[in-house]
Amino acid sequence: MILCTSRSLPEKFAIFLLSAQCQSRSRDLFSKMADELRFDGRVVLVTGAGGGLGKEYALAFASRGASVVVNDLGGDAKGGGKNSAAADKVVEEIRSRGGKAVADYNSVEDGDKVVQTALDAFGRIDVLINNAGILRDRSFGRTSDVDWDLVHRVHLRGAFKVTRAAWPHMRKQKYGKIIMTSSTSGVLGNFGQANYSAAKMGLIGLSNTLSIEGTKYNVLSNAIVPTAASRLTEGILPPDVFEALKPEYIAPFVVYLCHESCLETGGVFEMAGGWGAQLRWHESAGAMLRKGGVTVTPEMVRDNWTKITDWSGPVKEKTREENMTDLMTKIEEANATVPESKSLSMKEKTKQHKIAESSYTYEAKDVILYALGVGVTVQEDSSHLKFLYEGGDDFSTLPTFGVIPAQVYCSKIPSISWTSVTLELLNKCYDYQILILTFDISFQQQVLQFIRFD
Ligand SMILES: NC(=O)c1ccc[n+]([C@@H]2O[C@H](COP(=O)([O-])OP(=O)(O)OC[C@H]3O[C@@H](n4cnc5c(N)ncnc54)[C@H](O)[C@@H]3O)[C@@H](O)[C@H]2O)c1
């Protein structure tokens, strides 16, 4: 999907010259200007705006009436050093063109300070472009803790810190536009950029969640995946490609995404050299292996792998909204293939599951008698003493003791007589045990009972 048809600056300049010569077109020009996406009264904070893409964003927003905070630490491409000159130069350029801008020299890691600069200078913050970035490329095996941490601190943690500082102000004023800068290295991976790609993918996740949490406050968040000539890509992109990928070609997309008329949120947009597109998640039709009430085994997964990864059928867009509904439909479908005797819908089962709670009190002697009753002895295994001797430190209840309260409970329900019972013990992930009892009642219904042992 092409996102935006905004003209690049040289094209606009051409329109001005043409219209000055041609009176009859002046009305067209006027309507074009009236149509211009403006940011008068808006405060835009661009991180890492001392050069490259950030600088272009700052210039573009300022040229459209925004008050701009030009944040830049002014370090080198690997994250070393600091210098106020980079941000100052951009501010100077904006002011010399009649725009409004202030510089901020803090690291994005000090998000509160960066946002405070916007509040102190302009009293609010409407648009936040998380753009600051560094590179510390290494093949994965050679990536040091420092390479990993520094890249994450600037890209992911930095974006988190600045956004979290801006968030309450945007929520309060019920207006905010946030951009997270991701990368094809995150979306597709890239040799030598494990640290960078992980952080860049994290930014997409962050943006997705902000879009969920922010929508009701009219705080919208999108991620961008730009490719442009800058100091970060110098030497990586071939010279002729480098020339065609001017950062100023990216700015119009970002400006549009942050305009009040653009209601996109939770999107990921890729752009390069004046081209733009939307990225989405898709999933194959997949395969439901749990049919006819069978248990899914790794062998079944192996035998169905071609189906699971088959993209020849209808491909579905993976949207957040439909994800859970989709899953429920699949589960319904799987349950519908269970033999008639067990084919209750999930809803019916859930209803049936709402059996009134009851409690059952038991003592040590009940537990010991049960253990003896089911044949527990110390002859076979001396550790079984814990089930038989209440004076021991590790005195325990045999987990299947859970059937006793369940039996007592079911015997109180006059219409129920069960034909079989299956037990499943869950004790791996809790500091207590859960026994799941599934009763087949007259081959027509199932009753699930969860028993918790503390
Ligand atoms: N250029 C591309 O093709 C491309 C592709 C994908 C993503 N990106 C991303 O776009 C963003 C801009 O990159 P660019 O190509 O313009 O590079 P750039 O190096 O020209 O700009 C990055 C700016 O961030 C600043 N910065 C670094 N650490 C900072 C910190 N802790 N606090 C504040 N400022 C800091 C730098 O001083 C620099 O001015 C980066 O996040 C980058 O990862 C760029």
Average of pLDDT values for 18-26?
A: 36
Q: pLDDT at residue 280 above 60?
A: yes
Atom 1, ligand 1: residue with shortest CA distance: 228
Burial class (CB in 10 A: 0-12, 13-18, 19+), 303: exposed
d(Cα 63, Cα 42) in Å, to the nearest integer? Answer: 12
Using a 6 Å cutoff on CB, does residue 276 contact ligand 1? no
CA 452 to chain centre: 34
Q: Best of 76, 179, 201, 232 to mutate for ligand 1, by most ligand atoms within 8 A of CB?
A: 232
Atom 42, ligand 1: residue with shortest CA distance: 133
Using a 6 Å cutoff on CB, does residue 231 contact ligand 1? yes
Using a 6 Å cutoff on CB, does residue 164 contact ligand 1? no
Using a 6 Å cutoff on CB, does residue 48 contact ligand 1? yes
- For the chain, which domains are there? 37-279 (3.40.50.720), 282-343 (1.10.287.4290), 364-452 (no CATH)
CA 261 to chain centre: 25
What is the DSSP code (8-state) at residue 156?
I
d(Cα 386, Cα 160) in Å, to the nearest integer? Answer: 52
pLDDT digits (tens, 9 = 90+) for 134-165: 999 999 999 999 999 999 999 999 999 999 99
* CA 207 / ligand 1 centre spacing (Å): 18
360 is catalytic: no
Using a 6 Å cutoff on CB, does residue 72 contact ligand 1? yes
Stated length of the chain: 454
- In the chain, the amino acid numbered 439 is F
Is the backbone of residue 232 left (phi > 0), alpha (psi -120 to 50) or beta? alpha
d(Cα 274, Cα 8) in Å, to the nearest integer? Answer: 8
d(Cα 222, Cα 213) in Å, to the nearest integer? Answer: 13
Token match 């059937």: residue? 403
| CB 344 within 8 Å of CB 293 | no
| pTM of model > 0.75 | no
Token match 């599951």: residue? 353
pLDDT digits (tens, 9 = 90+) for 343-363: 555 445 545 545 556 677 788
Rounded to the nearest 10°, the torsion over CA 152, 153, 157, 158 is -120
* The pLDDT of residue 101: 98
201 vs 365, residue with greater confidence: 201
Atom of ligand 1 nearest to the CA of 272: 3
Among the listed residues 57, 105, 175, 196, the single catalytic one is 196
Q: pLDDT at residue 423 above 90?
A: no
Strand, helix or coil for residue 323: helix
Token match 């479908």: residue? 333
Q: pLDDT at residue 86 above 70?
A: yes
* The pLDDT of residue 235: 74
The pair of three-digit structure tokens given for residue 48, joined into one six-digit string: 């890492």
Using a 6 Å cutoff on CB, does residue 114 contact ligand 1? no
CA angle (170, 166, 202) in 5-degree steps: 110
Phi/psi of residue 223, nearest 5 degrees: -110, 145
Q: Best of 53, 89, 246 to mutate for ligand 1, by most ligand atoms within 8 A of CB?
A: 53
Using a 6 Å cutoff on CB, does residue 50 contact ligand 1? yes
* CA 51 / ligand 1 centre spacing (Å): 8
Helices (H) and strands (E) in the chain, counts: 17, 13
